[in-house]
C-alpha cells in the first residue's frame, strides 16, 4: 500500500484528507482502547481498506453502573468515509439484541429494513460502545484548523442497541505535535471535550471515555 502523501502544513494531521477530498487513507490492521471512568472494559478493532471504501469490525465489553454488556459490530464506509451500513450484535442483562442500519449515503436510513425519518441528514453511525466511530466524521469532514461543523449521527446505544439521532459538532483545534485535536460537543448529553487523534485519524485520547492502548 502507498502511504498517503503528507500535507505541507504543520497543522494538518498526516492521514486526514483536506476538506472535500476523497484520498484513500491507509490504516493500521488493528487498534485497541481501554474504557475509562464511565465504564470499565476494553475494545479491540480490526480495520481494512476495501476496493469500495473501508471496513471496521470490533468487539467491546464493559461494566457500567454495575451492569455488564458486550457488543460486536461491523461497519462499512464508502471512500469518503460516509457510513454505508452497520450491523451490531449485543448482549446484556436485557437480553441479546441485533440491529442493522443501512444508509443511502445522502442522509436517508433504514433500521432493520424500516425507514427511520428521525435520522434524516445523518451521514455517520456512532456507537455508544465504541471509541472508533468518532473517526468517521473527522475523516469525512476534513476540517482545517479553526473550522467547525455539525455532524449529527445515527447513535446506537450499548445495552439495548436502541437507535436514535445524536446531534454533535466538531471544531478543529491546533495540533498537539503530530496529533490532531478536535473540540467535540454532544448537547443532549451535556458533554464537551477535546479529542486527540493519531496520524491515522483514530482517537488516542477521549477524556472520561477511552484511551488508546494499541
Supply the pLDDT for residue 23: 63
Looking at residue 8, its pLDDT comes to: 30
Measured between alpha carbons, how far is 12 from 33 in angstroms, rounded to an integer? 24
pLDDT of the residue at 193: 97
For residue 159, give the C-alpha cell: 445495552
pLDDT at 197: 98
Tell me the whole-structure pTM to 2 decimals. Answer: 0.89
Rounded distance, CA 88 to CA 57, Å? 10
Instruction: Sketch the domain layout of the chain as residue ranges.
Output: 30-212
Q: What is the predicted pLDDT for the residue at 55?
A: 98
What is the secondary structure of 46-111 as a DSSP string? EEEEETTEEEEEEEEEEEETTEEEEEEEEEEE-TTS-EEEEEEEEEETTEEEEEEEEE-SSS-EEE
Round to whole Å and give the CA distance between 169 and 46. 26
State the 10-residue block means of pLDDT for the chain, 214 residues long. Answer: 29 44 77 94 97 96 95 98 98 95 98 98 98 97 98 97 98 97 97 97 96 96
Amino acid at each position: 500500500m502507498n502511504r498517503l502523501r503528507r500535507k505541507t502544513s504543520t497543522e494538518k494531521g498526516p492521514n486526514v484528507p483536506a476538506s472535500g477530498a476523497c484520498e484513500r487513507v491507509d490504516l493500521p490492521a488493528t487498534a485497541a482502547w481501554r474504557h475509562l471512568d464511565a465504564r470499565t472494559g476494553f475494545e479491540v478493532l480490526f480495520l481494512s481498506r476495501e476496493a469500495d471504501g473501508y471496513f471496521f469490525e470490533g468487539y467491546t465489553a464493559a461494566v457500567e453502573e454495575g451492569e455488564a454488556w458486550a457488543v460486536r459490530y461491523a461497519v462499512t464506509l464508502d471512500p469518503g468515509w460516509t457510513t454505508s451500513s452497520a450491523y451490531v450484535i449485543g448482549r446484556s442483562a436485557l437480553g441479546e439484541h441485533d440491529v442493522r442500519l443501512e444508509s443511502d449515503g445522502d442522509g436517508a436510513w433504514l433500521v432493520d429494513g424500516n425507514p427511520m425519518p428521525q435520522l434524516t441528514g445523518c451521514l455517520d453511525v456512532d456507537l455508544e460502545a465504541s471509541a472508533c466511530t468518532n473517526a468517521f466524521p473527522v475523516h469525512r469532514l476534513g476540517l482545517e484548523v479553526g473550522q467547525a461543523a455539525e455532524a449529527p449521527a445515527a447513535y446506537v446505544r450499548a445495552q439495548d442497541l436502541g437507535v436514535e439521532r445524536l446531534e454533535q459538532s466538531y471544531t478543529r483545534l491546533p495540533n498537539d505535535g503530530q496529533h490532531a485535536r478536535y473540540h467535540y460537543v454532544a448537547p443532549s448529553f451535556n458533554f464537551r471535550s477535546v479529542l486527540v487523534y493519531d496520524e491515522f485519524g483514530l482517537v488516542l485520547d477521549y477524556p472520561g471515555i477511552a484511551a488508546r492502548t494499541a
